Chains A and B, each alone.
Chain A
Amino acid sequence: MENLLKIKDLHVNAGEKEILKGLNLQINKGEVHVIMGPNGAGKSTLANVILNNPEYTRTEGDIIFENENINDLRTDERAKKGIFMSFQSPEEIPGISVQNFIKSAKVAKDEKPVRIFEFKKNLEQTMKDLNMNVEYSNRDLNVGFSGGEKKKNEILQMLMLEPKLAILDETDSGLDVDAIKTVSKGINMYHNENNGVLIITHGTKILENLHVDYVHILVNGKIIKTADGSLAQEIEKQGYEAYREEKANG
C-alpha cells in the first residue's frame, strides 16, 4: 500500500519540556488509525506538530508526507499538501462567515477559483448530511457555536476541503451520542482508499461504525503498543493502567 505519512523518531518540546520522546508512526493510504492514551501523553502534541503549530518545537526526527520530508514546511504549506486537522477547540473568528471561510480556504488550497453555484450546493448538501442548520453557513465562524456545532463545523471543513490525511484531535470529546454518530458518519463519507484518517480519542463511541485498521497506545511520548481495532475495546474496559505499569517495569 502507498505510504501517506511516516514519522520517524520524533522528539518534540513544548517550551523546555519534552513531550514526544522518539515517536514512530506510519499511515498508508486507505487506512484508519486511532491513537489512544492517558491525558498528557502527547496525543494532541502529535496532531499539532504534524501541522507545525508554532507552540511546539521539533527537536529531532522526521515527518515525511507522501515520501517528501516536510520538516521545514510552514503550516499553510502542509495544509496545501493535503494535511487537515479537526481542532479540539476551534477558534472563533468574528466577522467571517463559515461559507466565506471555507471558500477562501478552498481557493487557497486548490489555487484556483471555486465555482460559486456548485460550491454552495455542495456546502448545503454536506451540512444537511451532518445534521447542521444550513443557515449556519452565513454565521460568523464558530462564534456562539455550541461545542457540538463547532466540531461538526470541523468535519464540514474536512469534507469540503478533501484533504489526503485527516487528523481528528478529540473531535468526539464533549459530544452527545447523536453528535458522535454524526461525526462518525462524516468520517465514513470522507474516507476512501486514497486518503488516510488519524483519530485521537479517549472513547470508543466514535469508532463504533468505523473500520479501524490500527490502534496505537501512546504513553509518555512514545507509542508503546500497536494492534488492530479490538485494542480499543480492551482499553475501554481496562484503561491504561496496565500500560503504565508495563512502562514502569520496562
Chain B
Amino acid sequence: MAKTQVDDINRSIYNIKNEDNYSYKMQKGLDEKIVREISSMKNEPTWMLECRLKGLEMYNKLEMPTWGPDLSVLNMDEISTYVKPKSELNTSWEDVPEEIKNTFDALGIPEAEKKSLAGVGAQYDSEVVYHSLQEDLLKQGVIYTDFETAVKKYENIVKKYFMKCVPAEDHKFAALHYAVWSGGSFVYVPKGVNVEIPLQSYFRLNSPESGQFEHTLIIVDEGANLHFIEGCSAPKYNKVNLHAGCVELFVKENARLRYSTIENWSKNMLNLNTKKVIVEKNGVMEWVTGSFGSRISMLYPMSILKGDNAKMEYTGISFAGEGQNLDTGLKVVHGAKNTASVVSSKSISKSGGIATFRSNVVVAPNADGSKSNISCESLMLDDWSVSDTIPVSNIGTDDVEFSHEAKIGKISDEAIFYLMSRGLSEEEAKAMIVRGFASPISKELPVEYAAEMNNLINLELEGAIG
C-alpha cells in the first residue's frame, strides 16, 4: 500500500508537469517563450522585450471584441502558428491560389514582383528602390527605415514614442500586436522639412518576415510635411490569415501628414488593424483609405486633436464583395479649441457583402469652437448586400458645429440603361457608375494607386478574374 502511494505521488508530480506544458501551449496559443524567442532573434534591447511582455500580459487579460463582426472564425489557439517567425518562407509561387495569380496578371504586375509578393525572395529589387529613395531623403535629414533597424539605430527616439500613441491596453489585438510585432516602417521628418515625394512602404512590406504584425511609427516634426503610402496596395497572398498591424503617428505643431492606404488583402484575411494619430497645435492629419480585401476588417483610424486648431480629414472607401464583412470607420477626439474634423466616407457592397461604417466623435468640454462634419454615402449593388452607418457622438460643449449626413443608395436601372444605350455592356456600365462613385477618393490618391483602385473595381464588377 505504501509503495503504491509513493508511486502515485511520483506519478502525479510528472503528471502535473506534463499537463502544465500541454495546457499552456494548447489554451493560450501564444506563450512567453515564443515572445522571448522573437525578441532575442531580433537582438532587441531589454525595454523592447518588456514592451512585448506587457503586450502578452494584456493580450491574455483582454476579452475578444464582441460588438462588431463575428470573429469566431479566428482560432485563437493557432495564434502561435501565425506568429512563428518566417512561416511565410515556405510559400512558393506555385502555392498561390489561382484567383490571386489572375489578379496579379490583370493588374499588370511583372513576374519578378509577383514572386516577391508571394513571399519567395526577389526582395533585392525592392531593396534597391528603397535605398535610392533613402539617399535622397537623407540629405534632408529624413529617417526612413524598417522598424527593426530603427529600434537599434534610433533607439532613443523609438523608445520615446513607441507605445505612446496606441497603448497595449487599447484592445486585444493591439496587445497581441505588441507581443509579436515584426517588420514595419519608421519615419522621422525633421522640423520644417517638406518631403515632396510620397514615401511608400509598398515594396518592403512584401518581404517574408513582415506583413501581418508590422509596426509603423511616423513622427512629423514641427512645420514638416509628409505623405506616406501604406504598402498593402497590391493583392498580397498570405498563408496565415490574421493581420494585426499597428500604426502610431505623431503630427507636431504646424506639421502636416497624409497617410494613404489601399488594402487588398486576400479574402481569407482577418484584418484587425490599429491606427492612431496625435495632432498638435495647428497640425493637419489626412487619412486616405481604400479597403477592398480581407474576409473581415475592423479598422477605425483614430485622431486625437490635442492642440488648438488641429485638423483631421478622413476620405475613405470600402468595397465589400461576396463573403466580406468590412467594418470600418473612424474615431476622433476634439481635445482642444477650434479643432476640426471633416469626414467623407463611401462604401460599396455587392453579392451579399457587408459594409459598416462607424464614427465616434468626442468633443471635450474645453474644445470650444470645434467643428465636425461627417458625410457617409453607401451604394448597394443588389438587394442582398448590406450597408450600415453607426454614428456615435459625445459632445462636451455647446460651442461646437457638428453635422452627420448619411445616404444609402442603389444603382438605378435607368442609369444602367442610359450607359448601355451607348454601347457599354451591363458590367461595364455598373463598373463605370461605381468608379464614378469612388472617384472623389481615387482623386486623392497618387495616379498609379488610383489606376489600381479602378482596376480593382473593374475586377470586382466585370468578373475579369477566372
A and B: partners? yes
Interface residues of B toward A: which range?
A: 20 to 34
How many angstroms between the C-alpha atoms of A96 and B413 in the bound complex? 17
How many angstroms between the C-alpha atoms of A84 and B435 in the bound complex? 24
- Interface positions, chain B 412-466, Cβ under 8 Å from A, are 412-415, 417-426, 428-429, 432-433, 435-440
Shortest Cβ gap from A163 to chain B (Å): 9
- Whether B435 and A108, one on each chain, are in contact in the complex, defined by CB atoms closer than 8 angstroms, is no
- Whether B422 and A54, one on each chain, are in contact in the complex, defined by CB atoms closer than 8 angstroms, is no
Of the 9-residue stretches A87-95, A116-124, A217-225, which lies at the interface with chain B? A87-95
A93 and B436 contact, Cβ closer than 8 Å, known pairs A55-B413, A87-B418: yes
How many angstroms between the C-alpha atoms of A104 and B423 in the bound complex? 9
How many angstroms between the C-alpha atoms of A26 and B414 in the bound complex? 27
* Contact partners of B419 in chain A: CB under 8 A: 91, 93, 101, 105
A75 and B417 contact, Cβ closer than 8 Å, known pairs A91-B412, A104-B424: yes
- Whether B422 and A105, one on each chain, are in contact in the complex, defined by CB atoms closer than 8 angstroms, is yes
Name the residue of chain A whose CB is nearest to the CB of B418. A91
- Whether A96 and B425, one on each chain, are in contact in the complex, defined by CB atoms closer than 8 angstroms, is no
Contact of B422 among A53, A74, A94, A161 (CB under 8 A): A161
Interface residues of A toward B: which range?
A: 20 to 34
At the interface, yes or no: A6 with Cβ under 8 Å from chain B? no
How many angstroms between the C-alpha atoms of A74 and B423 in the bound complex? 10
Contact of A79 among B412, B413, B423 (CB under 8 A): B423
**A-B Cβ contacts below 8 A, count:** 78
* Contact partners of B423 in chain A: CB under 8 A: 76, 79-80, 105, 108-109, 161
- Whether A85 and B421, one on each chain, are in contact in the complex, defined by CB atoms closer than 8 angstroms, is yes
* Contact partners of A66 in chain B: CB under 8 A: none
A91 and B414 contact, Cβ closer than 8 Å, known pairs A76-B425, A96-B435, A104-B432: yes
Shortest Cβ gap from A12 to chain B (Å): 15
- Interface positions, chain B 119-149, Cβ under 8 Å from A, are none
Name the residue of chain B whose CB is nearest to the CB of A109. B423
Name the residue of chain B whose CB is nearest to the CB of A95. B436
The residue in A51, A53, A74, A140 that gathers the most chain B C-beta atoms within 10 A of its C-beta is A53
* Contact partners of A141 in chain B: CB under 8 A: 436
- Whether A95 and B418, one on each chain, are in contact in the complex, defined by CB atoms closer than 8 angstroms, is no
Name the residue of chain A whose CB is nearest to the CB of B419. A93
- Whether A108 and B425, one on each chain, are in contact in the complex, defined by CB atoms closer than 8 angstroms, is yes
How many angstroms between the C-alpha atoms of A53 and B414 in the bound complex? 8
A140 and B436 contact, Cβ closer than 8 Å, known pairs A53-B417, A93-B415: yes
* Contact partners of A54 in chain B: CB under 8 A: 413, 417
Chain A residues near B (Cβ < 8 Å): 51, 53-55, 74-76, 79-80, 84-85, 87, 90-91, 93-96, 101, 104-105, 108-109, 140-141, 157, 161
Sample (5) of A-B pairs whose CB atoms are under 8 Å apart: A74-B426, A91-B415, A93-B415, A105-B423, A108-B425
- A-B complex: 4 closest residue pairs judged by Cβ atoms: A95-B436, A95-B439, A109-B423, A105-B422
